[in-house]
A and B are shown apart, each in its own frame.
Chain A
């Protein structure tokens, strides 16, 4: 199957568990702020495991946004690429990482691994049940949105600021 959208941007996490859902919140904020060209698919991936396979296999590039346990202070942001990612995910950070590792291994076995993989991660503060993020992590959402935009621009993807009329609700 030919993939008409070679780049996926996937926000991961469970929005019912406070900072766990930061990846999903960042993706939503990104979509409010920027327009991207047709070749880019931006998805709220939730905590899904296998359902993400079509968004990963055969893609040129995949950008993930997620809460990651870096063992640092809450709100610390880091960007990992390619083989740095499985090493980080194989230690327990979040439940859904292992589903993602399954998918990446399967795409390698099947010869359809994405060309380039990038993870924009942030150290969460609270992972208990609740819909709101902690203020520390909430404050970082715009920073993360800009990190996503920067990385996409590095990949020659134009992120165009949406007009205020469009982005205001």
Chain B
């Protein structure tokens, strides 16, 4: 007899994302992913000026504000067929890259490392041995015995204080925790060090975007940054070189700490390369446009079916029909009126809450499909697509990381290992390193272009009287994000955001096929149904963020075993 477990909340945010699993013989045999809050925030945009939409869309989500601002201006520019000056592309690209580097670091160290790292165990570590392990893996400057000792003292004081806050419900001591005390201590030291480096990465976003959270510098048609190499009040040489200093400081951490730590965790948890693959249709979009029209990109994107890299089909431009025609959302299993699957331009968002039904409606999240099939999005999809496209730095960091894992695990590890729970973490670190190189490149492109005397950052949008439609996409930290807009007479007539966590957390689709979270959980081991750490690991590996996929507190369920996950 299967036992039903309910994990709510799974992201520490009550009433947010709920996972229900049936467990039989120590394994998940069925799963449901449910967004527990109503989404309908796009309705607020109807009737508004499309030039202002990005200001509202960046409030969709508290975690990833920048990405919704960017997708929104791209959607409106696409509807207008408006070109964007090169400087504006480069500045936007730098914001994207710096934001992504920051976001990936925070996700690994601060939001999910404690699924794998046991802080309490690190109190028993020998700091000298921890240092030796660190120094055998990388050249990082802060792996010394003294740093390990200081970290351990700080952790001891923290644990002794009893004020554990959000850490109090952790899975410390869980039998699925496998790292030695020394490796735990090393990881904990890097957890603290990562705070400093994620801050530096985010400072780049603040400087270019004028402010975080909520950047201020975007505009439909470009950016509002005035460029004058010699003026104090604009983006000048001094500021550009300060940004360069920040970029340089972050690189060592990304390459010699984050990538190495992920490889080490992957090697020590090698069994986790066998769990959590789920949906292996992968969708990602190209990003970092290198021309004014969006027909050439530094980072490729496309679609892979059934996990076969050879099936890769590229998405080539902001006008790409393969992408434009491929996206649909279904509400057959979602709490909205009707039972349709429609293209985003044709969608409605009319709530219709009914009680939970395993075979019927059970989520506020819609179910997106690409050419009729569920698709996984996120860093793993992005890395596999870039790898398939032969992108040089992706190949370099992917091969290097897999080689490190192989060396530590004493086995050959191929790219197939990435189709897994731990593989999603590895892919995120690989993507972080790729984004880091992109950040360097885009900085150089901007400086070179300004050096040629081009200081243009904005093209004026002009709206025609009739109806126009547009879509804008962005490969965001959690995956493919697209905004879809219908404009009539200069006013928004319809607006839909198809966000990464909707792709991954969506319920069953029009053909009753499971969404990526759901499919990834089937076959996942669960040693103790009261403490389903293994389920949490798999869902966290997607970097769940439903603040934008859904909104508004609602709905209480009747739980059988209710578990609060950290």
Contacts and interface: CB of A to CB of B under 8 A. Distances in A.
B543 to A, nearest CB: 12
A102 B166 contact: yes
Given A49-B63, A50-B110, A92-B15, A105 B44 contact: no
Interface string A102-130: 10111011110000000000000001111
A79 interface: no
A146 interface: no
Given A48-B65, A53-B195, A111-B154, A102 B110 contact: yes
B400 to A, nearest CB: 28
A77 interface: no
B158 A48 contact: no
Contact of B165 (A50, A53, A104): A104
A46 interface: yes
A17 B533 CA distance: 34
Interface in B249-277: none
B128 interface: no
Interface in A51-101: 51-54, 57, 86, 92, 95-96, 98-99, 101
B213 A109 contact: no
Interface in B21-65: 40-41, 43-44, 56, 59-63, 65
B40 A129 contact: yes
B12 interface: yes
A110 B59 contact: no
B409 interface: no
Nearest to A92: B14
Given A92-B15, A95-B13, A128-B552, A47 B195 contact: no
Given A106-B195, A109-B158, A14 B62 contact: yes
Interface residues of A, number: 36
A104 B167 CA distance: 11
Contacts of B59: 14-16, 46-47
Contacts of A32: none
B195 A95 contact: no
Contacts of A96: 62
Given A46-B213, A129-B40, A130-B44, A109 B192 contact: yes
A105 B111 CA distance: 12
In this complex, the member of A15, A53, A57, A104 whose beta carbon has the largest number of chain B beta carbons within 10 angstroms is A53
Given A92-B15, A111-B154, A101 B213 contact: no
B56 A16 contact: yes
A108 B213 contact: no
In this complex, the member of A51, A54, A92 whose beta carbon has the largest number of chain B beta carbons within 10 angstroms is A51
Nearest to A44: B214
A15 to B, nearest CB: 6
B59 to A, nearest CB: 5
Contact of B63 (A50, A54, A104, A105): A50
A6 interface: no
Contacts of A129: 40-41, 43-44, 551-552
Nearest to A106: B110
B547 A47 contact: yes
Interface in B187-226: 192, 195, 198-199, 202-203, 212-214
Given A51-B213, A52-B213, A131-B44, A105 B166 contact: yes
B167 A47 contact: no
A23 interface: no
B16 interface: yes
B411 interface: no
A130 B43 CA distance: 9
Interface in B325-382: none
B165 A108 contact: yes
Interface in B136-170: 154-155, 158, 161, 163-167
Contacts of A92: 14-15, 553
A109 B65 CA distance: 27
A92 B16 CA distance: 11
B106 interface: yes
Contacts of B214: 44, 46, 48
Contact of A105 (B16, B41, B167, B212): B167
B163 A108 contact: yes
B66 to A, nearest CB: 9
Given A16-B56, A109-B167, A99 B63 contact: yes
Contacts of A52: 213
A98 B13 contact: yes
Nearest to A83: B163
Given A95-B13, A101-B165, A46 B62 contact: yes
Contacts of A128: 552
Given A45-B213, A47-B61, A99-B62, 7 more contacts: A14-B62, A48-B63, A53-B198, A92-B553, A95-B547, A106-B110, A109-B158
Interface of A: 14-17, 44-54, 57, 86, 92, 95-96, 98-99, 101-102, 104-106, 108-111, 127-131
Interface of B: 12-16, 40-41, 43-44, 56, 59-63, 65, 106, 110-111, 154-155, 158, 161, 163-167, 192, 195, 198-199, 202-203, 212-214, 547, 551-553
10 contacts: A17-B551, A47-B59, A51-B202, A57-B195, A86-B165, A104-B165, A105-B166, A109-B192, A110-B195, A129-B44
What are the 3 A-B residue pairs with the smallest beta carbon separation, nearest first? A47-B62, A105-B165, A48-B213
